[in-house]
Amino acid sequence: MTTPVPDEVGPLGERATLVQLSTAFCAPCRATRAVLARLDGRDGVRVVEVDAEAHLELARRVDLRRTPTTLLLDPAGREVARFEGVPHLARLRSALDALVPARGPDGTGPTTGPTTGPTTGPTTGPSTGRGPDR
């Protein structure tokens, strides 16, 4: 996987950063924004949206093939997973937990309670980003 640009992304999340690469007239990008909003600011996760048309060098550097594409970055800013299309919330949470387990309300141990929620649209999971996994 690549090491995307913390400069375009800004400060990274303590646990992880989800970078949504989108374009102005991308309808699935709006649905992705809604899914990612459910994770933003929770358990050290930061969500950043980057306009791919305004950041063409970044789009080339991360080998962007379609929008929306969501990159999961570790705390050092390295890409550890990629989701093309509208990501499923449960798959995002699973990838986040595989990276660093979330902390519980007391700041220790894993979170309790359900970790799944509504999902939308097709996605590729942590992969090379070369099409849907079936």
pLDDT tens across 87-109, in order? 999 999 999 999 877 665 555 55
What is the reported pTM? 0.74
Residue 133 within a domain: no
- Total count of domains within the chain: 1
What is the domain extent for residue 28? Answer: 6-99
Q: Is residue 23 one of the residues assigned to a domain?
A: yes
Average pLDDT, the chain: 81
Q: What is the CATH number of the domain that holds 14?
A: 3.40.30.10
Could you tell me if residue 36 is inside a domain? yes
Instruction: Establish if 32 belongs to a structural domain.
Output: yes
Question: What sign does the CA torsion over 51, 55, 56, 58 have?
Answer: negative
Q: Is residue 120 part of a domain?
A: no
- The yes-or-no verdict on residue 128 having pLDDT over 70 is no
